[in-house]
Structure formats: structure tokens, C-alpha cells
Chains A and B, each alone.
Chain A
């Protein structure tokens, strides 16, 4: 592999890893916020346990979203300095909005939510998780604005060898954005819903208590996954109106194959999810269905990677469609040795952390809604004799 392939592989690896965690964040954040709202309204301890249990899954997943995101952000300058030289005046604005406003607020409010348990007034504490959700969606929006500019450089003109922003509104109404953003949101809800479905099915199958808790969770998960998938499919097809001509050849390449897999599976799954929705009150009792539901949990993740492969590989060899090639966007002077070293470092560290993170989420699910650390008080600290 030459240096360009290595740099692309590095971005693809960290980007894919980032999105696998971010999509669950986008799906679980509103779910946890709704659970928290129910708890504040009813004062029901069962709603509190729901908030704390699924909140813990959400927060553990969030950790990997942060660390992979940090590596993503700095990689623009490390490997792709040509992009900021050529189009930084345009591309930089949405990225600055994402990091400087949306993520800044998201992280601040998340800290207040996690550590504000028992310290903040109940309603302000609830407001924090809704603000986290809102700013997470704003983050996703600005990242999609930036990505859509690469797909279709709207609102900018070339002047003196650099792109200049001439129409900010065009940046935000980009035809590559308007359907892709709701599509991504739908995908997030589908993934978050399926995580809840898979985890609940696992617990119900093992029959180790908490049947009522996971029956209710399973229903919520099925409803969310259904709504998310249908939004994703509904906003999937109109995207073709905005696809640049010649993006998907009929040569059976990676982009075309990934696109075909995603579409076929998406269509099939919409029917499966419809069936699940109709039978959702019986699913908890149908033990034979539980292994199937567990097996379905990784599907949204595989399809999301297919979707990104279609969108990003289909753009090759352009960094900015028909304006800047990826070869020209690469930092001048970047060597294979440099990228190999950083690629190995990032993939090894982030890969191990991702595995550890999934293991921790599985551990939370196995343990179930007891000894919940989010908002745990000093009195309910588990005794050493009980821990194992």
C-alpha cells in the first residue's frame, strides 16, 4: 500500500469505529431522556431504574464515541492538510460549529447529568439529558453539513486557487444533506432500539429475574427500532436525487456492492420490524424468538458501515467532488512510515478500547438493573462480600 492508501485506511478505520459508537449514542440519548422524563413525572422507582440502567449502557458507549472522535478531529490536520488549505474557509465553518458549540455544550451538559445526580434539582437534572440529546443531534447535523459539502460543493466558488464561501444558506440546504441527515438520525434510532431489543431478549431468555423490567424495555426497543428503520428507509431513496452522476458505476465495485447490500437488507428488515411491532406484546413470552432478536443486534452496525462505504468510497477519487482529489488533499510530505506508525497506534489502542467497551456493556446487561452506578448513593454501595 502506498502512503495515500494508508492515510485513507487510517481515516476509514477511525471513522467507522467512531460511527459504530456514535450511532448508538444518537439512538439511546432520546430514549434515556424519555425514560428520565417518565421518572420525573411519575416518581415511579421502576422508571428510575430504567433511566439508570439504560443510562449506564448509553454512557459507557459514549466513552468510545469521545475518544474515537478526538482522533478523527485531529486527523484532518495530520493527514489531510490539503483539505484545509484548499477549502478550509468553507469546510471549516461547520466543523468549527460542531466542535466549538455543539460538542462543547454536549460534553458540558453530559458532565452535569452524570455527576449532577442528587445535586441538581430534579427538573434541571432532567433538562441536562434533553440538552445533551439536542446538542448531540446538532453535532450530527454539522458533521453531515461538512460531509455533504465534500459530496456536493454547494455555496462555494473557486477564487485564487482556494474555495470561498459565497452562500452560507446553500451549505445548509445542500441536496446531499437534506435527506442524508434524517437518514442518519433514523439509523441511530434503529441501532439504539436494536441494542435495547437484543439486551432485553438476552435477559428474558436467561429467565434470571427482572422479567417485568425487560418486557417493558423490549417493547420500547421494538417501537424505537421500527420507527428508526422506517425513517432511515424513507429518507434513503430520495437521496438518489442528490447523488452526483457517475458516483455508482455498474462495475460491482465496493461502493455499489455496499449500496446493494444496504438497500436489500433495509427493505427486508422493514418487513421484519413491522412484524415485530405487531407482535411486540407477545415477543417477551415467545422464547424461541429471543435468539433471533439477539442475533439481529449487530445488523444495524453492519448496514451502517455499508452505507458509509457507499457514500465515501463512491466519492473516490475525489475528496471534494470534481474539485479536489484525495491525493491533492493529503498533507504534502506525509510518508508511509509516519502513517504506518500512527495507524498501528490508533487501531491498536482504539480497537482494544472498543473491545473492552463492548465487554463492559455486556457485563452491565448480564448484571441487570442492580448495583447501578449512575447516581448511586453512599448507602447503596455494594458490600465487598457481594461483589464477584
Chain B
């Protein structure tokens, strides 16, 4: 039972990086390869249908942390208090940027929210590097440890590359490059690698700190029957919005 919930937790965390990773990457790349407003619109439109289905993976990670590792939930989040607050704010302004950017006209309104998307994406990606380093070292080191900051830069660069690959797959004409689905899977794996290494190394620790069996049983009975529905919903998103189904006549809401 502990192993099943470890697998769920690891899958959700790794999946978050592989999926939401390219949204963050596209967000960072907006000012670099977006060009004018129209160009940025096309880049955002490429990732827009995936964002809502991707970012919930982290919401689910936090839920699993609470449900299956209640003893660790406070330790992890409280141990990283300033970082978690900063990352939450980054996430919030990134999301607000996406929802608000096309809700009003005016070049300044749109550039402002596009900048928020970029700032938020950069902040989240960099914060993740620092957070993963802290998790790997048992939350003892300072959040400003050079190795942590370096990992922040590395994660940011890898996610930017993942975002660029995604654009090459989904919207080659807007991105100026063409990438295959295989290349996207590869960059996704690279994006997930740091998180996978940390969660892999934490296996014994997590198993030891799992919730007691009766709790995990209740959780399993309630959650696992819905797992196929959740997988199907995610697959449905990818089937619906994959490229190459002819020109799309609708505009992106984001």
C-alpha cells in the first residue's frame, strides 16, 4: 500500500515537470521569440489548451502530500516558507496573466500581463530548482546555498528548452523551428529528471513516513477507482489539441 502511494506521488510530481514544464518554458520564451503582440498571441495560443490540464498535477501533488504523507506536509512546506510563498505568488501572477491578457484591449494592458506570465514562469522554474536542492539536502541548508541557486538556473534553462521543443511540435510556424513528438518526449524527460532524482532518492524516507495503513486504504478506495477517468481525461486533452488536424478556426481564449 505504501508503495502504491509512493508511485502515485512520484508519478504526479514527475508528470508535473514533464507537462507544466513546457508551459513555464513557453512563458519564459515569450519576450525572446514572441516578437510583437501577434507573435506572443500565437505562442500563448499554442500552449493555452494544455495549461489547465497541466498545472493541476501540482495541486494533486499537494493533495497527495496531505493525504498520504501528513507528517511530512507541514515539514516540507513550512521548512521552505519564504520560497513556497514566493513560488505561490509567481504561480498566481502567471495564471492571472494568462486569464487576463486578452480580456481588455490596449497594448499596455496586454504587454503588462504578458510580462507577468514571463516573470511568474521564471520565478516558478527557478524556485523549483532551489526547492529540489533543499529537498535533496533535507531542508537543512540555506535557501541561498550556491548549489541550490545553480540548480535553479539549470531547471530554468531545461524548462525553457522543453518549452521551445513544445512550440516546435505544436506551432512550428510560430516558433520558427520544427520538432517531432519524440523530441518533445525527450525534452519532457529532461525536464522531469531533477524531480525524478529527488523523489527516487527519497524512496526509503517517504515509505517510512507514509500515513498508517487504514488511512491509505480509505484513500485507495476513494481515489483509485477514479484513476482511469483521470487518465482518460488527460488523454482526451492531448488527442483533442494535438497538432496537424487542419487549420483551427477558433481563436484562443487566453
Chain A positions within 8 Å of B, measured between CB atoms, are 59-60, 63, 66-67, 70-71, 73-74, 76-82, 84-85, 88-93, 95-101, 103-105, 107-112, 114-120, 164-166, 168, 331, 333-334, 338, 341-342, 345-346, 349-350, 353, 356-357, 360, 363, 373-379, 381, 387-388
| Residue on B nearest A87 in the bound complex, by CB | B70
> Are B71 and A71 touching (Cβ within 8 A)?
no
Bound form: Cα–Cα A178–B251 in Å: 44
Q: Find A85's partner among B49, B70, B96, B212 (CB 8 Å cutoff).
A: B70
Q: Does B74 contact A (CB under 8 A)?
A: yes
Chain B positions within 8 Å of A, measured between CB atoms, are 48-53, 55-57, 59-60, 62-68, 70-71, 73-78, 81-82, 84-85, 88-89, 91-93, 95-96, 99-100, 102-105, 211-212, 214-215, 218-219, 222-223, 226, 229-230, 233-234, 236-237, 240-241, 245, 248-253
Q: Find B63's partner among A98, A119, A357, A373 (CB 8 Å cutoff).
A: A98
> Are B212 and A164 touching (Cβ within 8 A)?
yes
Bound form: Cα–Cα A217–B129 in Å: 50
| Residue on B nearest A125 in the bound complex, by CB | B240
A–B Cβ pairs within 8 angstroms, 19 of them: A70-B59, A70-B92, A71-B88, A73-B59, A76-B66, A76-B77, A77-B84, A81-B78, A88-B71, A89-B70, A96-B66, A96-B219, A97-B63, A99-B62, A100-B60, A101-B230, A108-B233, A110-B52, A112-B233
- Judged by DSSP, the binding face of A is helix
Q: Considering the complex of A and B, which 3 residue pairs feature the smallest CB-CB distances, nearest first?
A: A88-B70, A81-B74, A96-B67
A161 to chain B, nearest CB (A): 12
* A77: B residues at CB distance < 8 A: 62, 65-66, 73-74, 76-78, 84
A146 to chain B, nearest CB (A): 10
Bound form: Cα–Cα A199–B233 in Å: 34
Q: Find B222's partner among A93, A166, A377 (CB 8 Å cutoff).
A: A93
B246 to chain A, nearest CB (A): 10
B196 to chain A, nearest CB (A): 20
* B250: A residues at CB distance < 8 A: 115, 117-119, 375-378
Bound form: Cα–Cα A70–B93 in Å: 12
* B50: A residues at CB distance < 8 A: 111
- Judged by DSSP, the binding face of B is helix
Instruction: Name 8 extra pairs, CB < 8 A, besides A95-B67, A165-B215, A363-B104.
Output: A66-B95, A74-B88, A77-B65, A77-B74, A77-B78, A98-B63, A112-B237, A345-B85
* B66: A residues at CB distance < 8 A: 76-77, 84, 88, 91-92, 95-96, 99
A301 to chain B, nearest CB (A): 21
Bound form: Cα–Cα A164–B218 in Å: 12
> Are B249 and A115 touching (Cβ within 8 A)?
no
> Are A388 and B105 touching (Cβ within 8 A)?
yes
> Are B82 and A164 touching (Cβ within 8 A)?
no
* A119: B residues at CB distance < 8 A: 240-241, 245, 248, 250
B124 to chain A, nearest CB (A): 12
| Residue on A nearest B251 in the bound complex, by CB | A376
> Are B53 and A107 touching (Cβ within 8 A)?
yes
Q: Find B84's partner among A74, A89, A90, A377 (CB 8 Å cutoff).
A: A74
Q: Find B77's partner among A74, A100, A109 (CB 8 Å cutoff).
A: A74
With A119-B248, A353-B92 as known contacts, state yes or no: A74 contacts B215, CB within 8 Å: no
> Are B78 and A334 touching (Cβ within 8 A)?
yes
B53 to chain A, nearest CB (A): 4
> Are A89 and B215 touching (Cβ within 8 A)?
yes
B155 to chain A, nearest CB (A): 19
* A378: B residues at CB distance < 8 A: 249-251
* A356: B residues at CB distance < 8 A: 96, 100
B73 to chain A, nearest CB (A): 5
> Are A78 and B78 touching (Cβ within 8 A)?
yes
* A376: B residues at CB distance < 8 A: 250-251
A260 to chain B, nearest CB (A): 35
| Residue on A nearest B50 in the bound complex, by CB | A111
With A99-B60, A346-B89 as known contacts, state yes or no: A120 contacts B218, CB within 8 Å: no
> Are B218 and A108 touching (Cβ within 8 A)?
no
* B211: A residues at CB distance < 8 A: 88-89, 92
> Are B78 and A115 touching (Cβ within 8 A)?
no
**Residue among A117, A165, A346 with the most chain B CB within 10 A?**
A165
